[in-house]
Structure 1
């Protein structure tokens, strides 16, 4: 696996919002097709043995498995691009500089406000000093979570570590809006997921993708997969991450992406689903009840 991250050229654009709380990011992407040998959260293909990458931590604490998210700096103002920096320390307190590439990146970084409205999926750059750096802007004041997901080369069993901490952006947070439902749209892409899922067992479910009128969209890959699902338990903030099984299939509602994963704890989950359509990545929030 490669050690150096690939350059991603990002262009953010505002679009009409159908779901009031939808935060939509449009990013130009030039990713190559998925690597069938890459180990991901869900299986690489139909009929293969169902496996999960073992996650150490759930993103609610800055330490897990002896690893620590340290020296985090975060922009103090909203609607201004600023620097987000941090280090990862190993169980001996040394700065981690060696990582295994996963889903085309050495580390995936998520920034989400505590009310699960404002969401960012970032890919910081690792410096020779072991400091990760990213540029980020957030929509509004409030308390944000910074969540790092990575696989240090020292973990030879393929496990990934998920660490999280909080940062505060000065000002008065906006009032809470209505929560997303099982169907969401950014005005260009409509996603439809399940209303409920069973807790504590592997389950297969579909997320439909369309233009809002049951039309099939031109789906491409983003970071080596046809979709990225990043979820958070509304009550605890626990992190979940999954990718679909292979390519989309055409259906009466457009096309379906099939996921095979499990949610261990009952509750309401906010899902941020990212799909690439005609070269742009759309991020649309959905909600699902796990019981």
Structure 2
């Protein structure tokens, strides 16, 4: 699988609100043969290889000399711009990136209690400033997390910082336990079928059904069958996993398997995005991750 690099200074901006959002096929590239994801080969095999493990977990604004700076968020009362710059180890704005899942940079704007989540694809300006439109909808402590691969690098870099959006707010507890292993938007339901494990070659499975409990047919989103990101509930550390193989349609639902590289046990709040009948759905579940068994 080839890796496409780009020095483009503009990428399509996409704002994904919680719940159901209409999307068109224009979000997808005409040819996704160069995508960098862990996905099945065209014949349905599993010969594709993933990108390297991420460096950083979004809890720091500086990793290996790369730095997120000039970060700003809009207020809670209206749609506005989230903006920031990425500086390279020399201190200059980073302008060249390698695509991952069809985008030069993935941006996650997440309320610190993990109750609100936005996945954005901002636009890069000539001075290195990334911007995207976002509607936060509530005040509070918001985390801004950027995931990207500098051109020539083999591992994604994940940087993040936290800003306070003025206004009164009360954090909510992150859902945990068996009930939190299922998430629904009223149209699509996701249920954790196999929890995660600490280790470099783990598997996590989710079952998807419609409102009647029937399997769903998944369209393509960002060059693959699903996009799954999450945060450790205790540390708020960021994780990004990739689909492993094609979706499996079973009697009780459509099953997605993800390759994982969890490094710490505990609960993780996961945000799944899938396309069904041309519409993008966002679902949240909490997955327990167990310690690696001693051999």
Are 1:130 and 2:137 matched, yes or no?
no
Deviations, residues 41-80 of structure 1 (Å, cap 9, x unaligned): x3544443764523121110000011000011111x2141
Q: Per the alignment, in what secondary structure is the counterpart of residue 126 of structure 2?
A: coil
For 2:166, the equivalent position in structure 1 comes to 170
Deviations, residues 62-114 of structure 1 (Å, cap 9, x unaligned): 00011000011111x21410111111001111111111122111110000011
| Displacement of 1:214 | 2.3
In the alignment, the residues of structure 2 paired with residue 175 and residue 103 of structure 1 have an alpha-carbon distance, to the nearest angstrom, of 32
In the alignment, the residues of structure 2 paired with residue 51 and residue 128 of structure 1 have an alpha-carbon distance, to the nearest angstrom, of 30
Describe how 1:14-29 pairs up with structure 2 within 5 A: 23-29=18-24
Are 1:269 and 2:268 matched, yes or no?
yes
For 1:98, the equivalent position in structure 2 comes to 96
Are 1:120 and 2:115 matched, yes or no?
no
For 1:17, the equivalent position in structure 2 comes to none
Distance 1:207 1:258, change over 3 A: same
Q: Per the alignment, in what secondary structure is the counterpart of residue 235 of structure 1?
A: coil
Describe how 1:235-274 pairs up with structure 2 within 5 A: 235-274=234-273
In the alignment, the residues of structure 2 paired with residue 50 and residue 88 of structure 1 have an alpha-carbon distance, to the nearest angstrom, of 27
| Displacement of 1:246 | 3.7
| Displacement of 1:269 | 0.3
Q: Per the alignment, in what secondary structure is the counterpart of residue 80 of structure 1?
A: coil
| Structure 1: gaps of 5 or more residues | 13-22
Equivalenced residue count is 277
Picking from 27, 35, 48, the partner of 1:38 is: 35
Picking from 179, 185, 192, the partner of 2:175 is: 179
> Bigger CA drift: 241-250 or 62-71?
241-250
Distance 1:84 1:6, change over 3 A: closer
In the alignment, the residues of structure 1 paired with residue 99 and residue 48 of structure 2 have an alpha-carbon distance, to the nearest angstrom, of 22
Deviations, residues 182-236 of structure 1 (Å, cap 9, x unaligned): 1110000100114632223522232111103221223111111110111100111
For 2:54, the equivalent position in structure 1 comes to 55
In the alignment, the residues of structure 1 paired with residue 89 and residue 11 of structure 2 have an alpha-carbon distance, to the nearest angstrom, of 28
In the alignment, the residues of structure 2 paired with residue 8 and residue 84 of structure 1 have an alpha-carbon distance, to the nearest angstrom, of 12
Picking from 108, 111, 120, the partner of 2:109 is: 111
TM-score by length of 1: 0.87
| Structure 2: gaps of 5 or more residues | 291-295
| Displacement of 1:175 | 4.7
CA-atom RMSD in angstroms? 2.2
